[in-house]
Structure 1
Amino acid sequence: MTDKLTLAVNHALNDARMARARMAMLAPTMGLDAKRSTAWCEYGFKEDITYDDLYALYRRGGIAHGAVKKIISACWQTNPEIIEGDEQDETRKETAWERKAKTVFTNRFWRALAEADLRRLVGRYSGILLHIRDNKDWNLPATIGKGLEKITVAWAGSLQVKEWDTGINSRTYGQPKMWQYLESLPNGSSRRVDVHPDRVFILGDYSADAIGFLEPAYNAFVSLEKVEGGSGESFLKNAARQLNINFDREIEFSNIASMYGVTVEELQGKFNEAAAEVNKGNDVLLTTQGASVTPLVTSVADPGPTYDVNLQTAAAALDIPTKVLVGMQTGERASTEDQRYMNKRCQSRRGDLSFDIEDLCDKLVGLGILDPVSQKTVIWDDLNASTDAEKLASAKLMADINSASIATGEQPFSGKEIRVAAGYEGESQSLGEDDDEETEGEEDPTSDPAGKP
């Protein structure tokens, strides 16, 4: 008997090992643990992340939503400017091409482009639909030379490739030949519309192996949700005061059931009603006879350490300092340095956005909406520019250095340099000089041109 039982146990263990091996062969990339190929499945991590997963994370995940918003609000704190040439000269006049470009790149246009950038961070890519004044259907090529009426921003989930260009000798080989847009109508319904590539501009990467902004941090966000939901559920269950009633062995449940006018099988419902009344009211009496009542309370672990570990993982994946991501202020110097790093990170990302804006500008030039130009440049302001208070502090420090250098007979900084450091023009004039310039060459209003009083 023992030998048969041993053989049965060994056979069951062998079947379990074979099942795990087959699962590992079917899903060899399930996680990074080479010893436990199904670790991600046990942790609750998905192997393949879809657009719906990323959109749900952005819509319902507080940390993920805040991360996207912080990147967009910093990068698009001010609108860029497109100029003709390779550098900006503040003394030069605005060119005719720049004046025409401003009629297209309005503030409303930049806000729509910022929204497209936000949706690109969420869903790997986003689309910009160009409404061209040619009175043609969306599935037809655009007419060259017509104006741009407006633009519409589309999520990646509502704009997908319908047909690819498979012609080997085609100039657009491997590119979308037709897009399909899921349009939401005002009455709540939707319809699918074919859109020609001339009328679509894509921000981001729509290839199959593209990696989204939120995707590297997705596992950490799953763990954060478990910590938040698990700790909240633990507090809720303790606050709900689930009751445990321990009856003596001599208690006859049939007698208790007869007191309530129910059967023994229905007695549990009466107990639940009594517990609900106890939890509902502040001053409620629970009378028992031959029974002891104790609340089912568990000790809730501090979720802070576990939450911080996953939060730091998410912050590292998003390249956003933790204190900036969640708004913690643990020290003026630390928070200032983190903010400066965040500004540098977003300033660097503005360089990537400049390429996207130049590509969009080239598409508008190809459609005849803008005139061609030999060279154009996208310029932004500096996110790490000194504030007025910082400029005055620098000027004061320069003045203090000059005062300390009096003994040596040297003046390291001139007055012009100090004024420039303070944020003012370098040249200054005294009141007497201004008065002289204003009165020089002026005539006495009490005299006539002939000099008579």
Structure 2
Amino acid sequence: MNPLAMIVNAVRRLETVMPGYFPETKHQHAKDFGWPETVRFEDAFRMYHRNSIARAGVNKTVLKTWQDFPALWETEKAGNTKAEQEILEHFRKIGLWHVLAEADRRAIVGGYAGAILRFADSKAFDQPVGIVPGGLAGLVEAVPVWRNQLKVAEWHTDQGHENYGKPKSFTFNEAAIDGTPGRAFTIHPDRVLIWSADGSVAARSDLEPGYNDLLDMEKVKGAGGEGFWKNAKSSPVIEVDKEAKIEAMAQAMGVPTDELADAMNDQVEEWQRGFDKLLMLQGMKATTLNVSLPSPEHFHAIPLLSFAASLGIPAKVLIGSQTGERASTEDSDEWDRTCHARRESIAKPRIKALADRLVRFRVLPNKDWFVGWSDLTEASPGERIDRAGKMATINQTQRDDPVFTGAEIREQAGFTGTVPDPFGDESLPPEDPDREDE
């Protein structure tokens, strides 16, 4: 080894022994704080199933986004047409919206998920879909699958192809999650709806930005539980005095000297089991080691707030009433806006892509379908009534020149139509043209 290499290796060893002494030494956050360098699907999957805060963050996002189901409309507004009703009934029959909501849940965890579409076209899964007979009845089933169960087998590499850079085929392996033997086959992209933030398989888990925070919360919770357990267990530490008579103690306990340690272990175990047990010590002193635990709330709250911020969910909405406080109106309104934005930017485009595909397969009538969904930012019925009441109160203070009309107040309260004026001409009986005044 040349002298320069020897010097470099020596400096590296010194940096390892005395980190921070050398100015050029970098702080390795992941290594020093016990965080993983990368977050794999298996890590996010385990965290979702084993960490209560992670599960709450994912589930509350999905439940709010899908608190009601969308619909396909022939125009920008619902017309309650025959075609719309037939689609509504068939999608409800096969549980399509439930499947897409579950795909959304799995995509939050894994980055992307899939919904395998089964058509009544008598073709294998690895074959492209053509014209499906039977219209709506041609879509038989949709099945949600996890990221690890659905992998790209082959890509379109021909730059002249319209699908260049997109998956050419997928492999589905049902056993990739829990190892239980299941179905495994190749599947054509026509039969798979990829659900992710951008519609591709390159999307990353929503749990990744807050993953280190989840780990820190587990450390605080686990260390606190272990510390309380050790204090409660309070195993005694036996100090043997130099004047202790080991032989006499062994004789008193009725065991040979070489079995005294085992006999004392049994005695301590019996002593810990009940309050009325005798601990025999002769020339020995029993003490306990207690762990001093600081209050864990503050150490747990910091990563909790950080994780909530990573999902864009207010902390009080995330943890519910565990703190004894309700989420404020501002928190609730912000959460409604966040989930409404998820509908507009993630859910609606994926549903529209599915509708366009079903039109191509002649499952849906050949129309430009619109995705209709309620507005999560709209006021609740109670809030609308409250606003209408405030408008009426304002009118009472301005009797000579009312600010709002009755129609405006009714509209704000959520009522439509007009009410006949009880003092208008409509309340009087029609005049008899043949009647003569007396």
Could you say which residue in structure 1 is the equivalent of 2:352? 358
Is contact 2:65–2:340 with CA below 8 Å preserved after alignment? Answer: yes
Q: Does 1:179 find its partner at 2:170?
A: yes
SS in 2 for 1:213: coil
CA displacement at 1:223 relative to structure 2: 0.7
Which whole-Å CA distance do the structure 2 matches of 1:277 and 1:45 have between them? 42
Q: Deviations over 1:127-149 (max 9, x none)?
A: 11111112222222224223111
Which whole-Å CA distance do the structure 1 matches of 2:258 and 2:203 have between them? 59
The one of 323, 332, 338 equivalent to 2:331 is 338
CA displacement at 1:281 relative to structure 2: 2.1
Could you say which residue in structure 2 is the equivalent of 1:3? none
Any gaps of 5 or more consecutive residues in structure 1? 1-9, 22-32, 441-453
Which whole-Å CA distance do the structure 2 matches of 1:94 and 1:423 have between them? 20
Q: Does 1:192 find its partner at 2:184?
A: yes
Is contact 2:120–2:132 with CA below 8 Å preserved after alignment? Answer: no
Q: Deviations over 1:250-274 (max 9, x none)?
A: 1133444455565656443333322
Is contact 1:417–1:426 with CA below 8 Å preserved after alignment? Answer: no
Is contact 1:183–1:193 with CA below 8 Å preserved after alignment? Answer: no
Is contact 2:113–2:144 with CA below 8 Å preserved after alignment? Answer: yes
Question: Does 266-275 or 155-164 show the bigger shift?
Answer: 266-275
The one of 108, 116, 130 equivalent to 2:103 is 116
CA displacement at 1:82 relative to structure 2: 1.5
Could you say which residue in structure 1 is the equivalent of 2:28? 38
Q: Deviations over 1:361-384 (max 9, x none)?
A: 1122222211221x3221221223
Aligned letter for 1:210? A
Aligned letter for 1:354? K
Q: Deviations over 1:314-345 (max 9, x none)?
A: 1111111111111246666x622111111110
Could you say which residue in structure 2 is the equivalent of 1:156? 147
Q: Does 1:391 find its partner at 2:384?
A: yes
Aligned letter for 1:131? R
Which whole-Å CA distance do the structure 1 matches of 2:397 and 2:199 have between them? 62
CA displacement at 1:398 relative to structure 2: 1.7
SS in 2 for 1:173: coil
Cα gap change, 1:270 to 1:432, in 2 (>3 Å): farther
Could you say which residue in structure 2 is the equivalent of 1:420? 411
Cα gap change, 1:40 to 1:208, in 2 (>3 Å): farther
Could you say which residue in structure 2 is the equivalent of 1:372? 366
Is contact 2:153–2:170 with CA below 8 Å preserved after alignment? Answer: yes
Cα gap change, 1:106 to 1:54, in 2 (>3 Å): same
Is contact 1:164–1:176 with CA below 8 Å preserved after alignment? Answer: yes
Cα gap change, 1:12 to 1:342, in 2 (>3 Å): same
Q: Count residues in correspondence.
A: 411
Is contact 1:121–1:214 with CA below 8 Å preserved after alignment? Answer: yes
Cα gap change, 1:80 to 1:423, in 2 (>3 Å): same
Is contact 1:124–1:206 with CA below 8 Å preserved after alignment? Answer: no
Any gaps of 5 or more consecutive residues in structure 2? 1-6, 431-438
Which whole-Å CA distance do the structure 2 matches of 1:174 and 1:263 have between them? 80
SS in 2 for 1:41: helix
Which whole-Å CA distance do the structure 1 matches of 2:254 and 2:169 have between them? 72
Cα gap change, 1:248 to 1:11, in 2 (>3 Å): farther
Aligned letter for 2:69? N
TM-score, structure 2 normalization: 0.84
Which whole-Å CA distance do the structure 2 matches of 1:11 and 1:424 have between them? 80
Could you say which residue in structure 2 is the equivalent of 1:52? 42
Q: Does 1:166 find its partner at 2:163?
A: no
Aligned letter for 2:57? A
SS in 1 for 2:174: strand
CA displacement at 1:213 relative to structure 2: 0.6
Sequence identity of aligned pairs in percent?
33
Which whole-Å CA distance do the structure 1 matches of 2:184 and 2:17 have between them? 44
The one of 78, 99, 120 equivalent to 2:68 is 78
Aligned letter for 1:113? L
Cα gap change, 1:181 to 1:11, in 2 (>3 Å): closer
SS in 2 for 1:105: helix
Aligned letter for 2:47? L
Aligned letter for 1:418? I
Q: What is the aligned-residue RMSD (CA, Å)?
A: 3.2
SS in 2 for 1:190: coil
Cα gap change, 1:209 to 1:115, in 2 (>3 Å): closer
CA displacement at 1:231 relative to structure 2: 0.6
Could you say which residue in structure 2 is the equivalent of 1:411? 402
Q: Does 1:105 find its partner at 2:91?
A: yes
Which whole-Å CA distance do the structure 2 matches of 1:264 and 1:339 have between them? 71
SS in 2 for 1:246: strand
Which whole-Å CA distance do the structure 1 matches of 2:201 and 2:24 have between them? 25
Question: Does 252-261 or 132-141 show the bigger shift?
Answer: 252-261
TM-score, structure 1 normalization: 0.82
Aligned letter for 1:128? A
Which whole-Å CA distance do the structure 2 matches of 1:283 and 1:356 have between them? 68
Is contact 1:100–1:370 with CA below 8 Å preserved after alignment? Answer: no
Which whole-Å CA distance do the structure 1 matches of 2:396 and 2:199 have between them? 62
CA displacement at 1:18 relative to structure 2: 7.1
Could you say which residue in structure 2 is the equivalent of 1:451? none
Q: Superposition pairs for residues 284-323 of structure 1, below 5 Å? A: 284-323=277-316
Question: Does 334-343 or 417-426 show the bigger shift?
Answer: 417-426
Which whole-Å CA distance do the structure 1 matches of 2:42 and 2:286 have between them? 47
Q: Deviations over 1:122-173 (max 9, x none)?
A: 1111111111112222222224223111111101111111222223333322
CA displacement at 1:295 relative to structure 2: 1.8
